[in-house]
Structure 1
């Protein structure tokens, strides 16, 4: 493991090697806005006003700050194992009419194929307007996400079996045992309070993160995982750069669509 192990106290310090090949959340947001615009244009052909006004585009690396469990002690004390909410309850919920649902999804609310027709008699596209928008944006090329997933899965499997990562977990287990809790793996802590009152969940999450910081669990797992990610990236050769280039083309198309809107 040629790269040094850095002490990590919050998720913002986690920088995965695969992130070099992942567009920013802001760039991916443009793709969501373009998909919304294309879906709305399609829906208008069928006399439907698409009522979704914003699309939350999940980032490829969403959740990476919790890849090794809770990290920030203060955040764990406030939120427990739950991730801090980024939007108000109910925001972004879609409540379409039956016709809108049919046009956008290509199925009736009962699950039957859409029967709505445009003024010129054209049927709803296969998969609905949402699928048509997806195809116009992506075409048949969506190679980046499977490759990123491949790197993350391969590195994770190897990290789980790595003696350095396992030693860090053993140190965490001993720290938790000193506090009166017997666990076989770090993930067992969250599972043990999965249905417990919120106060108990927060207390366990805080202790979990405190022990992780004390033994530098996250720093060690991140260093080991990163080494395996770099190895997986090297094995893929030019496949990741080519997939990223295709993704950049997608973002350029989306930017053009949003700009025309």
Structure 2
């Protein structure tokens, strides 16, 4: 049994819990172990245009692309010092702006009716591969030799350490050109915040929201609705496995029928409205508890983008 189903078995009837969450629930402004208060829950189905408290601190797709381009440029320049031509693959921009389109699973009735669970609506095209295959010496320059001890966490630290290996008469940086490229863009000086700090907060809020009693109740209501039509499922984000679908059948008539019911049941249970409201509450708490670090993250992102503009050319 999946985690959602296991948790749902210990809850009261979903209808009663959904009614309770509409009037608010949770703590008295208390600690992280308690479920945050959420107030009135809006009725939502579409995830288009949803905004979250951490959005103002997160790196956008376009900003991420600019940083990756700068990192690729630095890595390539580093490799050229050792006599190699290398291009670091850069993640393409999302086609059609995928964004939050499937944050809570399939929620678009028109896409469900036309494509079923086919996942490539707004999916990323494949990343561009490296320019050519590298030999052993090239891989040494790219990845660096095995390094005993703590890896440097900033470019300053990296330049103060010796990898013990040279290529073409030049010292290979600790961690190779890949790490030099990363540190140049994301941690040029000591004391830089982990570049994944905001992303980790977002992921933590999503994980906590999945465990929240109000989301679990909404999922149970969605699952019960699906069961009325003969679909035994308990995972709303990716129910394909429970439905017995393989990737080649995500667009089949059977998949389309299930997908249409999936979206209809999400609307009936107000799954998106509940989950979005609860996840937003966890993000809001994350902002309040990490205000100083988030301000540092925002400042460092601005500095990285300025640096990237000079590095990418």
Seen in structure 2, the aligned counterparts of structure 1 residues 114 and 187 have a Cα distance that, compared at 3 Å, is farther
Could you tell me which residue of structure 1 aligns to residue 68 of structure 2? 32
CA contact (8 A) 1:137 1:253 kept: yes
The CA deviation at 1:100 is 4.0
Say whether 1:234 aligns with 2:288: yes
Q: Quick one: which of 73, 84, 97 aligns to 2:134?
A: 97
Q: Specify the SS of the correspondent of 1:191.
A: coil
Greater RCO, CA 8 A, separation 6+: 1
The separation in 2 between residues aligned to 1:135 and 1:144, in whole angstroms, is 10
Q: Specify the SS of the correspondent of 2:170.
A: coil
The separation in 1 between residues aligned to 2:70 and 2:175, in whole angstroms, is 18
Seen in structure 2, the aligned counterparts of structure 1 residues 69 and 42 have a Cα distance that, compared at 3 Å, is same
1:32-51 aligned at under 5 Å gives the runs 32-51=68-87
Seen in structure 2, the aligned counterparts of structure 1 residues 131 and 226 have a Cα distance that, compared at 3 Å, is same
User: Which ranges of structure 2 fall in alignment gaps of 5 or more residues?
Assistant: 1-37, 147-162
Q: Quick one: which of 83, 91, 115 aligns to 1:56?
A: 91
- Which stretch of the first structure deviates more once superposed, 190-199 or 165-174? 190-199
Say whether 1:195 aligns with 2:246: yes
The separation in 2 between residues aligned to 1:105 and 1:4, in whole angstroms, is 50
Could you tell me which residue of structure 1 aligns to residue 119 of structure 2? 82
What TM-score do you get using the length of structure 2 for normalisation? Answer: 0.68
Say whether 1:137 aligns with 2:185: yes
What TM-score do you get using the length of structure 1 for normalisation? Answer: 0.79
The separation in 1 between residues aligned to 2:93 and 2:124, in whole angstroms, is 14
The CA deviation at 1:160 is 3.0
Q: Quick one: which of 230, 245, 248 aligns to 2:302?
A: 248
User: Which ranges of structure 1 fall in alignment gaps of 5 or more residues?
Assistant: none
* Cα shift readout 1:113-135 (whole Å, capped 9, x = no counterpart): 997612xx113222221211111
The separation in 2 between residues aligned to 1:68 and 1:103, in whole angstroms, is 42
Q: Quick one: which of 5, 8, 13 aligns to 2:49?
A: 13
The CA deviation at 1:188 is 6.8
The separation in 1 between residues aligned to 2:72 and 2:234, in whole angstroms, is 46
Q: Quick one: which of 146, 150, 171 aligns to 2:197?
A: 146
Query: Which structure features the higher share of helix residues?
Result: 1
| RMSD across aligned positions (CA) | 3.1
* Cα shift readout 1:177-218 (whole Å, capped 9, x = no counterpart): 111112344357222235363324444333322321232211
CA contact (8 A) 1:81 1:205 kept: no
The separation in 2 between residues aligned to 1:103 and 1:204, in whole angstroms, is 51
Say whether 1:223 aligns with 2:277: yes
CA contact (8 A) 2:144 2:173 kept: yes
Q: Specify the SS of the correspondent of 1:190.
A: coil
- Which stretch of the first structure deviates more once superposed, 121-130 or 36-45? 121-130
The separation in 2 between residues aligned to 1:148 and 1:103, in whole angstroms, is 30
